[in-house]
Chains A and B, each alone.
Chain A
Amino acid sequence: MNTTALQHIQAAFPDADSRENLDSVVLTVPPEAVTATLTKLKNDPQFGCSLLLDVTAVDFLTYPTPQPTRFVVVYILRNPESGLQVQVRVPVADPDTGIPSATTLWGSAIWGERETYDQYGIHFQGHHDLRRILNHWQFVGHPLRKDYPIEQRQICYETDPLEKEIKARLKHNGVEDTSMAELHTEIMYLNMGPAHPATHGAIRILTALDGETVLANVNEIGYLHRGFEKTAENRTYNQVVPLTDRLNYCSALMNNIAFVKAVESWMGVEITERAMFMRVILGEFFRIQDHLVCLAAQLLDLGGLTNYWYLYNQKEASYDFISRLTGGRLTTSFTRIGGMYRDFYEGWQADMEQQLLDIEMGVGDSLKLVEKNRIIHDRTQDVCVFPAEKALSYGFTGPCLRASGVPFDLRKDKPYYHYDAFDFSIPVGSKGDVYDRLMVRFAEIHQSISIVRQAMKMVPDGPIFVRDVRVALPPKEEVYNNIEALAGHFKLVFEGVRTPPGEWYDSYEAANGELGFYFVSDGSGTPYKCKVRPPCFYMMGGFHKMVEGSMIADVIANLSSLNIIGGELDR
């Protein structure tokens, strides 16, 4: 982060309290100035924050240092070209009055603010659809408030009919029942999910149809809300690692890396070279795994069952390598703050190379079926087109944003772990249709294979864990013979890794897009707050914009092209 960005912001917002934090600029503005600040940050070309990455809030009720207000809402913004990252903090005096909504500026604010309302009970003035999103409609209270007990369960007896919402959406799209009656037809309501084979987990897609054309669409999520964030507030940092496995369970190790990377960057822990290369190799290997599952499922949904065997069998074969290395097939829990859990085993290179060859074969076989297949082309090309501008507005990142033609990738734009030393390219699409999203993933598999091969040649010998008393257990020799080491061991095990007090955001390019973590630390060994910025949450938030006007069969093709993973979507 260069200081000039801070100076620019200070010059543009002289009244606001601005400071630099990690690699972001943090602005604190009162509620009455928030709309003007956000508008300027988005529309002023010198800032150009076209991506609203995340919206969240912090409840300072039990925070050790007293704060001016109990609640603070945080908007996390980014300029995808310059890499400028801004956090706008808005103190909330009264949650029932709330603050002005940012939904007129970014589409992603619709779901982001809804989640903040659901979890913290903060009202957003001017939000047209402020209702619960993750918790069920019969839920009372706001679970992420510090005075909500974690074990207070509330039973839901019926599902939400969503009738009001779909009617509102129809009205918004200019469809009235009377106009349909004039045409002697009526609207058909079709509900897909949450238990439907094509929804890949539990998502509810409610559509209003005219024949086979989608007139309006409303989606409901939260069926797999497992309270990740509340649970994380009751665990030490390293104990959260197994929870992160279950976010995007198709690429568990990437979540492990993203989480520990965020904590390490705040603590200023520099991991060893070997650990960095291990994270690159395994991260890219898991990106391939994630794409394999996504493509297998997508082509299966389009009716290409053979692709499922070609692609999924390679993933299945990779489990042998993964379980030999990490001990688990799906849930790896392979990283720790300060390094890795274990080193590679002897002879891993040959196994890895074999896996890569097998994957290349599987992907090649599948591509032969897909690349020149008229049926696939007709089903995917020009279907559910999402241009770059809309994709940015709805907070798309990762392959789906790149399919819309925006070459934004954190590995290139904010390189970490020596990603700038590898020779790879960022595949981009031309249109942002289902076909682009499909093919970008195929191309990324090849890029990732290339990165793994390069990194395998460069991986140095050496320790996999940093020698830092703040994060690493002292060697057993010292623990048995030296009181400081014994005390250090005891404190690390019982209290966990302690982080300096503060708030920070750090992100990682996961298989689905930008996986970010927003932390608040009170200086203890457990996170005071740990918010995940899940990439597919915001993609699902833009889903209705993609499918309205399309055919009902395209809804299925589009959903699978976004790679919605329930664990990450609902947390």
Chain B
Amino acid sequence: MARGIEARLGEGFLTTKLDAILNWGRQYSLWPYVFGTACCAIEFMSTAASQHDIARFGAEVLRYSPRQADLLMVCGTISYKQAPILKRIYDQMSEPKWVVSVGACASTGGMYDNYCTVQGIDTIIPVDVYVAGCPPRPEAILDALLKIQDKVRGESVLNDRQKDFTGILDR
């Protein structure tokens, strides 16, 4: 539950208008942090290049500081060695933040069912949208971006985002 002035206002005209304007701004100016580790990062490069042009969706401002980004795109395999770094980057991002798991490896471990590969990043951090493919085409990555935009549209200042996630690294 929200704690500020909006909590007193309740679900009235002001808060819905506040939601509308905030969400409108947020959904068309997502700043992605690309956690690119493997092949999917090359497809992300294609997504950002001229032909697919992620700028059409307002998400071309790639931030390489987690503190400036609100969309974490995990592109590639996450190994157990990498996992604490991913978690740290996620923790460093300020709210509100969203996570896209790009490709089979990030989503499930993909073809690497073995001793060193994390079987899906949702065992470490919460994920909002999963993208299938090994690697996914740029269109699929753009589609995930649209899904995140939908999700952003449904948010309200009155509702706290879920924060009770516990992953394998939360001891």
**What is the interface of chain A, defined by CB distance below 8 A to chain B?**
134-136, 143, 148-159, 194-197, 201-202, 222-227, 230-231, 242-243, 245-246, 249-250, 293, 308-309, 312-313, 316-317, 319, 329-331, 566-567, 570
The smallest beta-carbon distance between B39 and chain A, in angstroms, is: 4
CB-CB under 8 A from B86, the residues of chain A are 195
Segment with Cβ contacts to A, from B7-15, B17-25, B106-114, B147-155: B106-114
Interface of B is mostly: loop
Q: Say yes or no: A156 contacts B112, CB within 8 Å.
A: no
B43 touching A330 by the CB < 8 A rule?
A: yes
- Interface pair B114/A567, CB less than 8 Å apart: no
Most A C-beta atoms less than 10 A away, residue of B35, B51, B171: B51
Query: Which residues of A are found within 8 Å of B156, using beta-carbon distances?
Result: none
Question: Is there contact, CB below 8 Å, between B80 and A155?
Answer: yes
Q: Is the CB of B114 within 8 A of A226?
A: yes
B116 touching A330, Cβ below 8 Å? no
Asked if A313 and B50 sit within 8 Å, CB to CB, the answer is: yes
CB of B64 closer than 8 Å to a CB of A: yes
Chain A proximity of B11: nearest CB distance (Å): 40
Q: Give the total number of A-B pairs whose CB atoms are below 8 A apart.
A: 133
Q: Given A155-B83, A157-B84, A329-B137, list of 6 further CB < 8 A pairs?
A: A153-B115, A153-B116, A201-B37, A201-B41, A231-B114, A331-B135
Residue ID in chain B nearest A250 by CB atoms: B42
In the bound complex, CA of A243 to CA of B112 (Å) = 9
Q: Which residue of B lies closest to A194 (CB)?
A: B85
- In the assembled complex, 21 residue pairs joining A and B whose CB atoms fall closer than 8 Å, in A order, are A136-B81, A143-B115, A151-B113, A154-B115, A155-B169, A156-B80, A159-B84, A195-B35, A196-B64, A202-B37, A202-B82, A226-B38, A226-B116, A227-B114, A227-B116, A230-B115, A243-B111, A309-B50, A316-B46, A316-B49, A570-B79
**Is B117 an interface position by the 8 A CB rule?**
yes
From B113, which residue of chain A is reached at the shortest CB distance? A151
1/0 per position for B88-111, CB-CB distance to A under 8 A? 010000000000000001000001
* Identity of the chain B residue whose Cβ is nearest the Cβ of A227 in the assembled complex: B114
Chain B residues with Cβ below 8 Å from A226 are: 38, 77, 79, 105, 112, 114, 116-117
CB contact under 8 A between A155 and B43, given known A226-B77, A309-B50, A331-B134: no
A134 proximity list for chain B (CB < 8 A): 116
Q: What CA separation (Å) do A263 and B105 show in the bound complex?
A: 28
A567 with B137: CB separation less than 8 A: no
Interface centre among A224, A231, A308, A316 (most CB of B within 10 A): A224
Select one of A230, A317, A566 contacting B38, CB under 8 A: A566
Q: Which residues of B contact A (CB under 8 A)?
A: 35-39, 41-43, 45-46, 49-51, 64, 76-77, 79-86, 89, 105, 111-117, 119, 134-135, 137, 168-169, 171
Query: Separation in Å of the B120 CB from the closest CB of chain A?
Result: 12
Taking the closest CB of chain A, its distance from the CB of B20, in whole angstroms, is 34
> Do residues B116 and A135 form an inter-chain contact, with CB atoms below 8 A?
yes
Task: List B contacts of A195 (CB < 8 A).
Answer: 35, 85-86, 89
Chain B residues near A201: list those with CB within 8 A: 36-38, 41, 76
List residues of chain B with CB within 8 A of the CB of A316: 46, 49-51
A75 vs B119: C-alpha distance in the bound complex, in angstroms? 34
Complex: how many Å from CA A157 to CA B124?
Answer: 11
Give the Cβ gap from B104 to chain A, nearest Cβ, in Å.
11
Task: Give, as a whole number of angstroms, the nearest-CB distance from B146 to chain A.
Answer: 20
Note all chain A residues with C-beta closer than 8 A to B46.
312, 316, 319, 329
